[in-house]
Amino acid sequence: MLDSVKYGGSHSEPNNSLSKGAINVSDVSIVFGKGEDEHRAVDNTDLMINSGEFVCILGPSGCGKSTLLNAIAGYVKPTTGMVRVDEKIVEKPGPDRGMVFQQYSLLPWKTVFENIAFGPRMAGISKREASSIANTFLSMVGLTKFRNRYPAELSGGMQQRVGIARALANYPTVLLMDEPFGALDAQTRLTMQENLLDIWKESGTTVVFVTHDVDEAVFLADRVLVMSAAPGRIVEDLSIELPRPRNIDMIVEPDYVKARKNCLDIIRTESLRAFEQQNQ
């Protein structure tokens, strides 16, 4: 389990004990541009995510998945409606929401250890406490032996593990992930999915994970939210009734096959709609 770390004047603990990380998206629309250049990326979207849930957002390319995630992160402001995390309106990025992108976004001139300790140090944490936090998450992602390596000396999967550790080092209540494994090969991707589930179980953090991969969504999630073709809105909220912990053997289980087919049918319909829109 995570060690209790003195953080910001109090002892931070795994979020499953704090029961935080609830997300409420209320009637959110996001529009870019004006006039003939106007693009409605997200349209009148409502969703609720409970504390500690693992939720995947799935949909055809260009449906607004990343835009919706960025609104939760605070990088994009809704045109109408609002986003709340733990009943607090999201107005800008904050340490309660960690973000992991497809690109690794590590500081190339800093070591693995320094990249992870960077966030706590910027938050005003002492060097000693930041070191303790970095060591905790180095261990959690299995990179203690690589603490003094630089990002360029790591594989893609290892760099993404550093990215996850760096995001968790601020003890966020919500971890937002935008196709984080999209650039990895198939075998590394599966390993990273299994590692992520272990990290999620240990940290208790709410995870919102954007993907276009149906198998990834079904394997990871408690719920899969399927978005429509643009303008994006939630058209299905599918509960994934698979036991945890999960492993690769589950892909032949009837419940997995059923959930996968449900997702594929919906995605196919929405992808055809998107194709038709692009050719009008």
Please name each of the domains of the chain with its CATH number. 5-107+153-278 (3.40.50.300)
Residue position matching structure tokens 């601020």: 170
Q: Which of 5-14, 157-166, 174-183 has the lowest mean pLDDT?
A: 5-14
Question: With b meaning 16 or more CB within 10 Å and e meaning fewer, what string describes 30-59?
Answer: beeeeeeeeebbbbebebebebbbbbbbbb
Q: Which of 28-32, 130-134, 174-178, 247-251 has the lowest mean pLDDT?
A: 247-251
Q: What is the DSSP letter of 75?
A: S
Strands 88-89 and 10-12 come out as unpaired
Residue 225 and residue 47 in contact, taking contact as beta carbons nearer than 8 Å = yes
At residue 278 the predicted structure's pLDDT band, cuts being 50, 70 and 90, is low
Per-residue pLDDT at 277: 67
Rounded Cα–Cα distance for residues 268 and 241 (Å): 22
- Shortest CA distance to 70 belongs to which of 50, 54, 90? 90
Strands 54-58 and 80-85 come out as unpaired
Q: What is the DSSP letter of 228?
A: P
Task: Tell me how many helices (H) and strands (E) the chain has.
Answer: 8, 12
Mean pLDDT of 139-143: 91
Per-residue pLDDT at 6: 32
Mean pLDDT of 100-119: 91
Which 3 state secondary structure label does DSSP give 176? strand
Q: Which of 5-9, 150-154, 187-191 has the lowest mean pLDDT?
A: 5-9
At residue 248 the predicted structure's pLDDT band, cuts being 50, 70 and 90, is confident
Is 16 a residue whose pLDDT tops 80? no
Strands 234-239 and 223-227 come out as antiparallel
Strands (E), the chain: 5-7, 10-12, 23-32, 39-49, 54-58, 80-85, 88-89, 97-100, 174-178, 206-211, 223-227, 234-239
Cβ neighbours around 79 below 10 Å, total: 15
Is 15 a residue whose pLDDT tops 60? no
How deeply is 88 buried, as exposed, middle or buried, from its count of CB atoms within 10 A (0-12, 13-18, 19+)? exposed
